[in-house]
Amino acid sequence: MSEDCSQPCNCPAETPLCPFGTSLVLDGCGCCKVCARQAGEPCSLLEPCDHHKELYCDYGVLSDTETGICMAQEGQTCDLGGVIYRSGETFQPSCKHQCVCINGEIGCVPTCASDVRLPSPDCPYPRRIQIPGKCCEEWVCDSSPQEHPFESAMAVYRQVSAHGPQPESPRDNCIVQTTEWSECSATCGMGVSSRVTNDNEQCQLERQTRVCMIRPCQVDQQRSIKRGKKCVRTPKSQRGMRFELSDCRSTKVYKPKFCGVCTDGRCCTPQSTITAEVEFRCPEGDSFKKKMMFIKSCSCHYDCPRENDIFLASNTRRMIGDYENDM
């Protein structure tokens, strides 16, 4: 039988578990959630292509008119180290990163765990080692400190008497420590920032992420620079806007501040920010909440990140005054 949408929905009881980097989308009938087909894979009405990566189903490639091949929309290619990638193409420049090219922009996610292990009574001196034949480093526990001790680990347990009362929970004996938010992964448009903290009930280090937008893309900010000035530091959106993330839009309208541009070679980056929760609603009807960075002020300087640095910018300017906020 040919595929059409005349039959009633008959979806599996459990949502399918998609491979790493594959989107979960609605089929062409808007009925069941399926794992999106990737570039070069066969596609159909009930097995759609990954529209988040700007792929479409080309039915002219195969003789079967009901089956096509996922192809990338015509867009700009990406150049990474002299290697050209098509828009929509997924690739691995190294075993530690998986990347995708989308209309001239490269985005990458790590394939290795980025957890940080703290010293504890059962593992007083943790350290990472490289195991031959394996890409990702693994943790080992030493009973005595090495010549170069693990410098980035932070002790979080207070010394207590052997005969003293036992703590009610790990939280009671925890010294809360949190790293600075990392640089936003994109200089324009939506990006990701992360930090490591043990501010939880288990006093265990966890990686937190937030979405961020330093400035919108394809906007000529230099036009707003006043005569006689060289920079516009922290312009504010004059019109209400909705943030977009993977084809999902924020339910509320915002007038955020952005970092501007300079005409003298300086770059502008966030100096003071707040973190607030934003709710997004997708075309499929689902909604989710994400923490997002909101800019309070920016600074203009010559310590600029490298262009097209997909593994985050090299500059390590620290932001000040960042705190959680309910908006």
How does pLDDT run across 70-108, given as a tens digit for each residue? 887 777 778 887 888 877 778 888 888 888 777 677 777
Which of 190-198's residues contact partners 24+ apart within 8 Å by CB, and which partners?
Answer: 190/243, 190/244, 190/245, 193/293, 196/116, 198/118, 198/156, 198/174
pTM of whole model > 0.85? Answer: no
d(CA 93, CA 162): 51
Q: Which residues sit opposite 249 in a β-bridge? A: 244, 281
Answer whether 284's CB lies under 8 Å from 36's CB: no
d(CA 284, CA 269): 35
Burial of 111 (0-12, 13-18, 19+ CB in 10 A): middle
Would the pLDDT of 173 be above 70?
A: no
Q: Which CATH fold would you assign to the domain 1-73?
A: Omega-AgatoxinV (4.10.40)
Would the pLDDT of 251 be above 80?
A: yes
Alpha-carbon torsion (236, 276, 209, 26), positive or negative:
negative
Q: Which of 136, 180, 162, 155 shows the shortest CA–CA distance to 270?
A: 180
Length reported for the chain? 327
Answer whether 23's CB lies under 8 Å from 52's CB: yes
Tokens of 103: 């209309």
Please report where in the chains the tokens 């009973």 appear, as a residue: 143
Tokens of 208: 């937190």
Q: Across all residues in the chain, what is the average pLDDT?
A: 78
Architecture of domain 190-301: Ribbon (2.10)
Give Dmax over CA atoms of the chain in angstroms.
79
Q: What is the mean pLDDT of residues 16-41?
A: 87
Over the stretch 111-121, which tens digit does the pLDDT of each residue have?
887 666 777 77
Between 41 and 167, the higher pLDDT residue: 41
Q: Which of 282, 267, 279 shows the shortest CA–CA distance to 30?
A: 282
Question: How do 267-281 and 320-324 pair as beta strands?
Answer: parallel
Q: What is the mean pLDDT of residues 274-285?
A: 88
